[in-house]
Amino acid sequence: MSPHSTRKPDFSAYPRPSVAVDVALLTVHEGQLRVLLLPREEPDLGGAWALPGGFVRLDEDPDDAARRVLAAKAGLEGVFLEQLYTFGSPERDPRGHVISITYYALVDHRRFARLSPAVRHVVATLEVPWEGEAGGPVIARDPEGRVLSLAFDHAAILGMVVKRLRGKLDYAALGFQLLPRRFTLRELQTVHEVVLGRELNKDSFRRRMLASGLIEPTGELERDVLHRPAELYRISRQSAV
Amino acid sequence: MSPHSTRKPDFSAYPRPSVAVDVALLTVHEGQLRVLLLPREEPDLGGAWALPGGFVRLDEDPDDAARRVLAAKAGLEGVFLEQLYTFGSPERDPRGHVISITYYALVDHRRFARLSPAVRHVVATLEVPWEGEAGGPVIARDPEGRVLSLAFDHAAILGMVVKRLRGKLDYAALGFQLLPRRFTLRELQTVHEVVLGRELNKDSFRRRMLASGLIEPTGELERDVLHRPAELYRISRQSAV
DNA sequence: AAAATAGTGTCTATGAGACACTATAGT
DNA sequence: ACTATAGTGTCTCATAGACACTATTTT
């Protein structure tokens, strides 16, 4: 169990769990949190849906493995990606002991996984059955509103993602990651409201955001709206994550 | 890389990294953050000090592995233990690719690892060279003030522990874990000040703690102090972690 | 002009910090 | 009585929420 003093211990001599990464790719669109799910065809898993994932290769950094999965299964590069938690219960995968290092990725809905229709996948909406940061599993629905069965502990993982987002939203530059490079304060507020699951005070939200120094005005205005156009903002230089 | 549809895939056929747990056992004593370190005798590691750790066994839950390590190497059971982060860079261990799921454990200094003097170990004090939640590695010193060389990425891990503690202290029941079951508000404030690395306002701290509902008065007073004794408090029932 | 949302100014409520004061143990 | 810290009351200041008002675009 404990490393010892032979010069090059052959770690592979010990039976060991496998290590995977799973990535929750999220976006906000039409007032809803959305996540990419892929089908699992294995008979043991009963046709359930799962987060994109894959095994961590020997001598591969788990962060790189997560980026590789995102590129291979969602066609995305250069998106915001952060480690969430590591799940390792021996019972979480019926096929064997797989420890999953989980990540969440945030992206503007316009860049969200543009997968060929030939690749089976679903952009599920998330329903959060708890308030604030209480925590717990969430429910995924397909675009027609049908509840989707999630493989492994992925409902719990997604619940923890939402909990983490709610906790970090206020003090970290997270909300911007779900928007295009230029956005209005109203769009940013809507993103915050969707993630937090509650309405926010407009005046106070504006003041907090402007005072935070995380964003700066561009001087440009939005176009083609049926009302007074709002100014476009961007992430300010020093707050680049 | 991706799981496929054979009924019982032999995961062990793929070369894979090993998985370990490392546990930062912390306490607060005499105005300082302290951590248990054990010596690494391997020639590759140059006699550096390290967090207690061990490999995760096949079909063992990583949480259980962390508890096992804590019991075996610090003689402690039933302490507060929480997962921190998973470090998996292939370069972090010169002997091979070891992914480390790291934990932190908090305990009252009177219960802190009572190891036999025959077991080589050191209770190091932590020096945090940054303010607030800026983050970064920390410096460990032995009781005589000498800087200790830390193995692997353990200086960075300890830095992340401190950062996490500072972030969670205000809204989670963490500070109590570093104190005996009954404590005065002044003791609790000192613990917060040591973790946060800055002084706190007494009046405001008292008000916040009492208003939080996390603690309740016991009616008892401390004894054998050279001044007016303070009331003893305990964690309130509903806030049990 | 009407509709709809952007954006501003001001009042109020709440909570943190500052400070002064009183209370009570041991010596 | 003296010392040191516990604990309380009150004032001030900063910030969030509420609300009223003005501004500016498209139709």
> CB–CB of B20/B101 below 8 Å?
yes
In tens, the pLDDT along B91-128 reads 999 999 999 999 999 999 999 977 888 899 999 999 99
Q: Tell me if B16 and A58 make a contact (CB, 8 A cut-off).
A: yes
Nucleotide nearest to A170 (CA to C1'): D16
Identify which has the larger pLDDT, A52 or A14.
Answer: A52
What is the mean predicted confidence (pLDDT) over A78-92? 97
Mapping DSSP onto H, E and C, the string for chain A reads: CCCCCCCCCCHHHCCCCEEEEEEEEEEEECCEEEEEEEECCCHHHCCCEECCEEECCCCCCHHHHHHHHHHHHHCCCCCEEEEEEEECCCCCCCCCCEEEEEEEEECCCCCCCCCCCCCCCEEEEEECCCCCCCCCCCEEECCCCCECCECCCHHHHHHHHHHHHHHHCCCCCCHHHHCCCCECHHHHHHHHHHHHCCCCCHHHHHHHHHHHCCEEEEEEECCCCCCCCCEEEEECHHHCC
> CB–CB of A205/A169 below 8 Å?
no
Mean pLDDT check: name the lowest of A41-45, A71-75, B25-29, B159-163.
Answer: A41-45
Mean pLDDT check: name the lowest of A53-67, A99-113, A155-169, A207-221.
Answer: A207-221
In tens, the pLDDT along B154-180 reads 999 999 999 999 999 987 889 999 999
* Positive or negative: CA dihedral A192, A198, A204, A208: negative
- Model confidence, pTM: 0.92
List CB contacts (< 8 A) between B61 and chain A.
88-90
CA distance B205 to chain A (A): 22
Mean pLDDT score of chain A, rounded to an integer? 90
Nearest to B60 among A4, A90, A96 (CB): A90
So what's the pLDDT on residue A213?
Answer: 84
- Interface probe with B: pick from A6, A45, A57, most Cβ of B within 10 Å: A57
So what's the pLDDT on residue B6?
Answer: 38
What is the mean predicted confidence (pLDDT) over B196-213? 90
What proportion of chain B, given as a percentage, has pLDDT over 70? 92
So what's the pLDDT on residue B238?
Answer: 62
B187-193: which pairs have CB atoms within 8 A and are 24 or more residues apart?
Answer: B188/B215, B188/B233, B190/B28, B190/B31, B191/B28
Residues B178 and B162: their CA atoms lie apart, in Å, by 14
Mapping DSSP onto H, E and C, the string for B92-119 reads: CCCCCCEEEEEEEEECCCCCCCCCCCCC
* pLDDT tier for residue B22 given thresholds of 50, 70 and 90: very high
Mean pLDDT score of chain B, rounded to an integer? 90
Nucleotides of C under 7 A from a protein CB: 3-10, 15-20, 23-27
Q: Tell me if B14 and A83 make a contact (CB, 8 A cut-off).
A: no
- Interface probe with A: pick from B40, B59, B154, most Cβ of A within 10 Å: B59
Name the CA radius of gyration of chain A, rounded.
20
So what's the pLDDT on residue A2?
Answer: 43
Residues A11 and B86: their CA atoms lie apart, in Å, by 19
Spatial neighbors of A240 by CB under 8 A, at least 6 apart, are none
Q: How many CA atoms lie within 13 A of A222 on its CB side?
A: 19
User: At residue A5, does pLDDT exceed 50?
Assistant: no
Residues A138 and A131: their CA atoms lie apart, in Å, by 11
> CB–CB of B70/B25 below 8 Å?
yes
Spatial neighbors of B203 by CB under 8 A, at least 6 apart, are none
Name the CA radius of gyration of chain B, rounded.
20
CB pairs under 8 A between A and B: 121
* Beta partners for residue A25, in sequence order: A105
Strand C atom within 7 Å of A167 CB:
no
User: At residue A136, does pLDDT exceed 60?
Assistant: yes
So what's the pLDDT on residue B109?
Answer: 93
Torsion on CA atoms B91, B94, B95, B97, rounded to nearest 10 = -10
